[in-house]
Structure 1
Amino acid sequence: MRIVTIVRKVAPRCYPNYLKAFEDGDEIFDRFKINTPLRIAHFLAQALYETGRGTVLFESLKYKTTARLLEIFGIGHHSAAIRPDEVDQYLNNDRALAERVYGLSNPKKAKELGNTKPGDGYKYRGGGLLQTTGGANYLRMGKLAGVDFYNNPDLIVSPEAALLPALHEWNEGGLNAYADRNDIRTITRLINGGYNGLSGRTELFEVVWSAIGKSGANQVAWKAATTSDETRELQEALNDLGAEPALVVDGRYGPATAQAVEWFQNHAKIPVDGNAGVVTQAALNLRLNSRTASERP
């Protein structure tokens, strides 16, 4: 099944810009080696999440409510640290908000993004399949793609060029390797800078994987994944701490491993999500080190 066929199935309202890019993109996907069911499913899950299943060309900054704006850009949530007493001027005012969040009114973020002139915050807001953001990134992706995105930002969503920034970002992050391991957490972190929308991205992955499965890739996703030493070490650690039933140490992060992680998280009194993130790994190491110390003569 062609990638564009999958997109049509799972994103029926996808904009023509993107559909045309996918329609003409078979050779480009092959060039970037996004040519296995897991790689295709993970790429599409991220791209379709970032674009509302293909219905977002550029980041919308037209926030209608104070609560939502502060949830995203308020104190403790974003470097912009917008205060309640200044919100009114940014509601339904996307250009002003972009300047406050990404532009010169937020000097640290502007420097990080390479936004150097008034208006750059809006001009270089998130755009395209993986929402490229910031003048420096538009410039960098333009050089990689051979397209002048910096001076012509709208080209980042053009049918001829829309795939290129996303695929170059994917390639720079070495994300095919994580897709091969079915590691959506790491893929999300490297694209998003955190885990925003992880549950939504995971749901989209399952939808895409199901669509691919109907074309013949019927294997469960985690069984199709390659093995990893990190997962083997995790499984061994959980077994050492008494996971019941004991895990098969196969290096694949399947349902049994996730269930064992939840068991440990419950016992360690840390947030329970079945994912062995930084907090869980630290708690595991602490328990293992404490046990080792107590066993010394």
Structure 2
Amino acid sequence: MSLTITVEHLAAIAGRTTPLMPALAEWLNRLCPLYEIDLPQEYCHFLAQACHETDHFKTLREYASGNAYEGRQDLGNTQPGDGVRFKGRGIFQTTGRANYLELGIKKGRRDMFVDNPELLEQPEYAVWSACEYWKTRGLNDIANHADSDVLKKKHKGAVLDLSPVEYISYRVNGGNRGLDERKKFYSIAQRVLTEPAAPRLVRGRALARKRAKKRTPSIKRNSTRSARKSRKTSSASKAKSARASRRKL
């Protein structure tokens, strides 16, 4: 059974509530299980990255203008204005003409997001685009590694030794930008998504004990009433016998 993500979960990870959270929670629950992102550990990594990329689940569009991406061949920005037009959008901040085009192809409508890049600012497509990225990059396999595992990754000609959260951060961001915050959100997500079960169990047991205590006086009162009734019946029987004896005399 997959984990259900709530607004309370998102707020706890981000440290605040935002107007986007109800819609994001809805689409996370609809789409993530379809991409086999459904275990607490997988959600911890996935949401940690999303929380950073969206500025605490506050925006689905990059704050910067996008001019910095102008002419970036590695992003497929081959036409004037592509940098601004295809700046970061979605919960993983999909960037560049090539990536927008790839998403349209996956939807079966090649130019869907090229012609309408703002679609990725809608919660449904914002979450879906991240799920697609997660799946095609095999990040569930990385997410299910133990935190202590050391993973090798080539980056700019060097081979790096990375933890799972570091490895995923490099894949999502393309580098180590915001790495400390991503790690922080991951740590918080672990507490929020993997530890609440025990406190709930304790509260459940405490409630059961409390209810049992409430029932106990009722049993005692019933026993007391029965005892009183028995005494009254016994006294009445004795009095009746005494009256009968006097009449015989």
TM-score range (shorter-chain normalised) is 0.5 to 0.7
Question: Over residues 232-260 of structure 1, what are the superposed CA-to-partner deviations in whole Å (9 max), with x where a residue is unaligned?
Answer: xxxxxxxxxxxxxxxxxxxxxxxxxxxxx
Superposition deviation, residue 206 in structure 1: 1.0
User: Following TM superposition, by how much is the alpha carbon of 1:21 offset from its aligned partner in structure 2, in angstroms?
Assistant: 3.4
Q: What does residue 102 of structure 1 align with?
A: 69
**Aligned equivalent of 2:230:** none
- Residue number in structure 2 paired with 1:194: 175
- Which structure 2 residues correspond to residues 1-297 of structure 1 after superposition, within 5 A? 2-5=4-7, 6-11=9-14, 12-16=16-20, 19-61=22-64, 94=65, 98-99=66-67, 101-104=68-71, 109=72, 111-146=73-108, 148-181=112-145, 182=147, 183-216=164-197
For normalisation by structure 1, the TM-score amounts to 0.55
Taking every aligned residue pair, what percent have the same amino acid on both sides?
32
**How big is each residue's C-alpha offset from its partner over 1:140-189, in whole Å with a ceiling of 9 and x where there is no partner?**
02222456111111110212322111011111111111110141111111
Q: Aligned letter for 1:129? A: I
The count of residues paired between Structure 1 and Structure 2 equals 176
Aligned residues of 1:21 and 1:161 also touching (Cα < 8 A): no
Render the CA deviation track for 1:234-288: whole Å, top value 9, x for unaligned: xxxxxxxxxxxxxxxxxxxxxxxxxxxxxxxxxxxxxxxxxxxxxxxxxxxxxxx
Residues 217, 185 of structure 1: alpha-carbon distance in 2 compared, 3 angstrom cutoff: farther
**Bigger proportion of residues as strand:** 2
In the alignment, the residues of structure 1 paired with residue 108 and residue 22 of structure 2 have an alpha-carbon distance, to the nearest angstrom, of: 21
1:128 aligns to what SS in structure 2? coil
Q: Distance in 2 between matches of 1:27 and 1:132?
A: 20
Measured in 2, the distance between the counterparts of 1:217 and 1:56 equals: 33
CA distance in 2, matches of 1:176, 1:13: 27
Quote the offset at 1:200 in angstroms.
0.8
Deviations 1:73-119 (Å, cap 9, x if unpaired)?
Answer: xxxxxxxxxxxxxxxxxxxxx3xxx33x2113xxxx2x211112221
Aligned 8 A contact 2:91 2:127 in 1 = yes
Give the aligned residue type for 2:70.
G
Do the aligned partners of 1:37 and 1:217 also contact (CA within 8 Å) in 2?
A: no
Contact in 1 for aligned 2:69/2:77 (Cα 8 Å): yes
Indicate the structure (1 or 2) with the bigger Cα radius of gyration: 2
* Root mean square deviation of aligned Cα: 2.0
For normalisation by structure 2, the TM-score amounts to 0.65
Moved more, 23-32 or 47-56: 23-32
Q: Is the 8 A contact 1:129 1:163 kept in 2?
A: yes
Distance 1:174 1:25 in 2: 18
Matched residue, 1:70: none
Structure 2, unmatched stretches of 5+, are 148-163, 200-249
- Once residues 171 and 162 of structure 1 are traced to their aligned partners in structure 2, the CA distance between those partners, rounded to angstroms, is 15
Deviation at 1:27, TM superposition (A): 3.3
User: Hey, which of these two has a bigger chunk of helix by percent?
Assistant: 2
Structure 1: stretches of 5+ with no match in the other structure? 62-93, 219-297
- Residue 197 and residue 25 in structure 1: after superposition, are their counterparts in 2 closer, same or farther (change >3 A)? closer
- Answer yes or no: is the 8 Å Cα contact 1:50–1:130 preserved in 2: yes
